Structures are given as structure tokens and as C-alpha cells.
Structure 1
Amino acid sequence: MLNLTIHGARGSLPGARSSAEFGTASICAVARGAGSAVILDAGSGAAAAGAALLEEGHVEIDLILSHLHLDHVISLPFLPQLLRGDGLVRVHLSQRYGPDPAAVLGELLRAPWFPVPLSGLRGRIEGHPIADGATLRVGGLSVETAPLNHPGGATGVRISDGAEAVAVLLDHEPGDDRIDAGVCRLMQGCRVAVMDAAWTPEEAPARAGWGHGCWEACIRLARRTDVAAILLSHHAPSRDDTALLHEEARARQAWSGARMARQDEVI
């Protein structure tokens, strides 16, 4: 059985306000199925995700990074698998960053930006470049990819255990017909798609080109596919429970299959 655990649903920064229902950690999820697991992005929720996998016996883990903006990589050096000598993190990253993802991440994990260089961590990082539109295997899971509409680029994924599928599509701004077609392909046949709804519909026009969506745009894309439900994510860090519940009610009124992603929920 395929399942997806949301370990962080905030975008740009961890939540700046207390949010008991939706959580404060930034983007991270874990997909499990077919005896395998994969972490999707390394926002501030990824340290807890890595710890949960370690408790399950996953000393070696696979991490797919949608892109390298700070809110998606901030927990990378705090993954517990990198703090032990037998730990290994296989990082899958678009080849647009170059042929060696580990070398790119080495630029992040060095002085003056971080006190411990990549070579100083006890665990190891293996880099695996992903071609645009490629399909890869992570243990028993199949991972299809497609580019997203985001400044500098980002990668969306569709994960399947052979029977069921989920899609994670962060960070994406709908509106580019060619890219949207690839996003809809990933959503097709999925039980749920996690989509970027950082903005309200009223905020979105003034933020065109920033690489994020709103719930109205997410619903328009979902209706072009047979996806059963969408989880709206990448919540603005200042949006508290009251505001998110209000936007969720509006989205559900527009389409009953839409709701806001909550930290620690399992789909």
C-alpha cells in the first residue's frame, strides 16, 4: 500500500506563527510503498522525516530535491543518516545543476554558510542527476518526473508502487501551457496530488512570475485530469490556522476534492 506523510507544508520559511492544526515546518514529505521509502525535499520538516525513517531501519535513504532554494534544502545537513558513519543519502537532483549533485551540495555545506563541510559529515552523500522528464526507480517505487514553472526551474514527481500513485508538484505556477501539460500527465490516475497554493486568488495576480500558485489555479488543473483529490500546500509562513481554514472552506466550496495539507498527516 502506498502512503504519503506530510512532514512540512510551509513555503519560503518555517511558519512564523503558532499553527497547531497545519504546522510550522517547511516543505518535506515521505512516500512509502513496495517496501521502499523516499523523502521529497529537505525543508525544515526533513530532520523529523529522516529520524522516522531511521527508526524504521533506513540507514540508507533516497532524497529527491525539487530544486535548491533554501526552504527546500535547509534540513539537509541535519538528516540523522548523515550524522553516523554507516549512513548514506542518495540525492536525486535535476541535471540542470550539473552532472554531480553532491558537488553542487558541497557548495551549500561549506564555510561561511555552514560550519561543517560535506566531507566533514560522518555519513555519505551520493549524487544522482535526473534528466528532465525521466522515470527512475527507487527500490520498489517508480518515480516519473516533469519540469515545473518556477524561477530557476523545479521538478515535479509522480510516485507509484504499481497499484496506486501520488504526485507532489511543488513549486509550480500554473499558466504555461507546455509545462502545465506535463504537470497534468503526472496527476493523471493519482489518488492525491500535493499542489502549490501559496497565494490566495486575490494575492496571485500581484505575484505573477514568483513561481507559486493559488487554490483556484490548482483546481483548474485538477479538473483537467482524473485525480481524486488535491492537497494544497506551500502555505505562506504568516498564514495562521484561522486564515488557512478560511481558504480551505473557499476551495472546498469550489471543488470538494480540495483541502489544505496538514503537517504530520498520512495519506
Structure 2
Amino acid sequence: MANGLKVRFWGVRGSISCSGAEYTRYGGNTSCLEVTAGGRRLIFDAGSGIRPLGLELARQAPIDIDIYFTHTHLDHIMGLTFFAPLFEKRNSVRLWAGHLHAPHTLKKVVSNLMQAPLYPVSLEVFQAQVEFNEFTSGQTLACGDIAMRTAPLNHPQGATGYRIEYGGKSICYITDTEQQGDGLDEAIVDLCRGADVMIYDSSYTDAEYPRYKGWGHSTWQEGMRVADAAGVGTLAIFHHDPSHDDAFMDGVAREAAAARPGTAANGLPRAIVAHEGLTLSP
């Protein structure tokens, strides 16, 4: 594992996974990121993209990993029970969430996901050493030499944004969140200030957004405004709506490159549309 800070995208879709030739280039799996730094591996969200990641990690057992959830809506946890390392007793897996409030706990959420009549087996099927942990969005977390700041996001039932820092580099993961309409979300601007990479909920365009107000999502143009206000190096457009196929996303990529042209100080494009398999090393 490389020691520098790096993020790989295993799932970039929002709301529901999509299949078909029209989703080939950007991918149809829902949210999952793999962040590596300093010999550690952190996973963010467990959408359907975590399944292929798990198949790769299964060949590396024993492993010791952390999974951080932005929130626990179905598209962000739907792949967890298909994550192969959970079924290997030599592995240790810690799960974290910062948006839940009593009586909800992360363990109860996962247990409910796996209960009848929705699922054939229960939580006890996991063989790995599994820990369930809660924190409060806004707290600063630490994972070895990796520092993490968090902030609450504007999403139904809550969500958490993350800033991951290592070796003088930083990556921010901001999904799912709804733009405020009367100015930028200053908590997000503050969290992302000076970040090398900001991965941002870009489910809609500004033209589409009024039809979906209250659904808890933002636009790629709002991502541009936040990135510029925060002095972000690279904006990664993320959480693509299921109605946005490859042709649509090609159009977004062209518009984004024109709106935020050139290369950032980190050597990456100032705007990029995330696709499965994309790796960014700021």
C-alpha cells in the first residue's frame, strides 16, 4: 500500500444502483470510497461499490480496516452485507457513524437491515471481529497518523461530511447535502477550506434542482461555488443521479471543465467527474 494520501472510487452513483450499457463508463454502483495513507485503509460508505472492493481485500486477509458512513440511507449501506472481509474470522472491521441519535444506533441499523422478512440471515453470520461506533458530527477524529475533521450536512435524518488529512494533503467527502438557496453552507466551506480534493454531492444541475427541493441533494454548479469559496484545488463531481447516463455525464464534464478550467497546484484537474476506478493522489 502506498504511503501517500490517495482516494479510489468504487461507487459514484446516488439513490439506487444502475445497470446497462448507458452506465458503462461512469459506473452504476452506489457510493463507496477507499482512502489509503500511511499504511492504513479507510472506507467511506458501503453502497453497492463496496462489494468489488471487498473481493479485492479478501485476498489480503488478515486485514484491519475502518468503514465510515456519511449516513445510513439504503444506497449508502446496501453493499455492506456483501462485503467479503466481514466473513473472515481473521479480519477486524470497525464501523463508524456520526449522524445517529437515540434510540438509533449503528448496530441496530445494520441488524434491522438483516432481519426478516427483508434478509435471510442475521448479524451473527459475520465472522470478523466487528465493532460498531458512534460519534457526533462536528467532532475531530483520529485514525493512526490520519486526522479527520467532521461536520453535519443538510440531509433528511442527518449526514456527516469528512475532511481527511495526512502528510500535508487533504481530501474532503461531502455527500449527501442540500444547498441552502440563500448563500453557501458556511460549515461546508469551513471544513473544505484549502483542501486538495473535495468530493461533492452533485446529484442535480441547477436547472433540475427546483423539482427536487427538500430531497437532500445539491448540484454540480453549487459544488463549483463551494470549491471556489473554499479555495479547493480539485472538485470531484459525485453521487450521480440514476437518470444521468454516460452521455449526460459527458455533458456535465464538458461544462465543468469550461467553468473551472486548468490544473490545480496538486497537478490534478480543477474539476473532474468521478467514475468507478478513478484514483486521485493529491
TM surpasses 0.5: yes
Alignment of 1:264 with 2:281, yes or no, is no
Identify the residue that residue 232 of structure 1 maps to in structure 2: 237
C-alpha separation in 2, matches of 1:210 and 1:104: 21
More displaced 10-residue stretch of structure 1: 179-188 or 257-266: 179-188
Q: How does 1:33-182 map to 2 (within 5 A)?
A: 33-57=37-61, 59-94=63-98, 96-98=100-102, 100-175=105-180, 180-182=185-187
Identify the residue that residue 265 of structure 2 maps to in structure 1: none
| Counterparts in 2 of 1:196 and 1:160: CA distance versus 1, 3 Å | same
**Which amino acid in structure 2 is aligned with residue 167 of structure 1?**
C
**Which amino acid in structure 2 is aligned with residue 149 of structure 1?**
N
**Which amino acid in structure 2 is aligned with residue 253 of structure 1?**
A
Identify the residue that residue 31 of structure 1 maps to in structure 2: 35
User: Which of 13, 17, 26 is the matching residue for 1:14?
Assistant: 17
| Counterparts in 2 of 1:58 and 1:211: CA distance versus 1, 3 Å | farther
How much has 1:95 moved relative to structure 2?
5.4
TM-score of the superposed pair, with normalisation by structure 1: 0.94
Q: Structure 1 regions of 5+ residues with no counterpart?
A: none
Contact 1:15 1:238 in 2 (8 A): no
**Which amino acid in structure 2 is aligned with residue 117 of structure 1?**
S
Report how many residues are paired: 267
Secondary structure, in 3 states, of the residue corresponding to 1:216?
helix
**Which amino acid in structure 2 is aligned with residue 258 of structure 1?**
A
| Counterparts in 2 of 1:181 and 1:56: CA distance versus 1, 3 Å | farther
How much has 1:65 moved relative to structure 2?
0.7
Q: How does 1:248-263 map to 2 (within 5 A)?
A: 248-256=253-261, 257-263=270-276
**Which amino acid in structure 1 is aligned with residue 18 of structure 2?**
G
How much has 1:53 moved relative to structure 2?
3.3
C-alpha separation in 1, matches of 2:125 and 2:72: 21
How much has 1:233 moved relative to structure 2?
0.7
How much has 1:54 moved relative to structure 2?
3.7
CA RMSD in angstroms, aligned pairs only: 1.9
Q: Structure 2 regions of 5+ residues with no counterpart?
A: 262-269
More displaced 10-residue stretch of structure 1: 104-113 or 155-164: 104-113
C-alpha separation in 1, matches of 2:135 and 2:57: 23
**Which amino acid in structure 1 is aligned with residue 64 of structure 2?**
E
Identify the residue that residue 223 of structure 1 maps to in structure 2: 228
Contact 2:209 2:219 in 1 (8 A): yes
TM-score of the superposed pair, with normalisation by structure 2: 0.89
C-alpha separation in 1, matches of 2:7 and 2:198: 10
Map Cα deviations across residues 230-267 of structure 1 (whole Å, 9 max, x no partner). Answer: 01111111321111001111122222222211111100
| Counterparts in 2 of 1:179 and 1:124: CA distance versus 1, 3 Å | farther
Secondary structure, in 3 states, of the residue corresponding to 1:37?
strand
C-alpha separation in 2, matches of 1:71 and 1:179: 26
| Counterparts in 2 of 1:210 and 1:136: CA distance versus 1, 3 Å | same
How much has 1:212 moved relative to structure 2?
0.8
| Counterparts in 2 of 1:160 and 1:56: CA distance versus 1, 3 Å | farther
**Which amino acid in structure 2 is aligned with residue 73 of structure 1?**
I
Contact 2:50 2:79 in 1 (8 A): yes
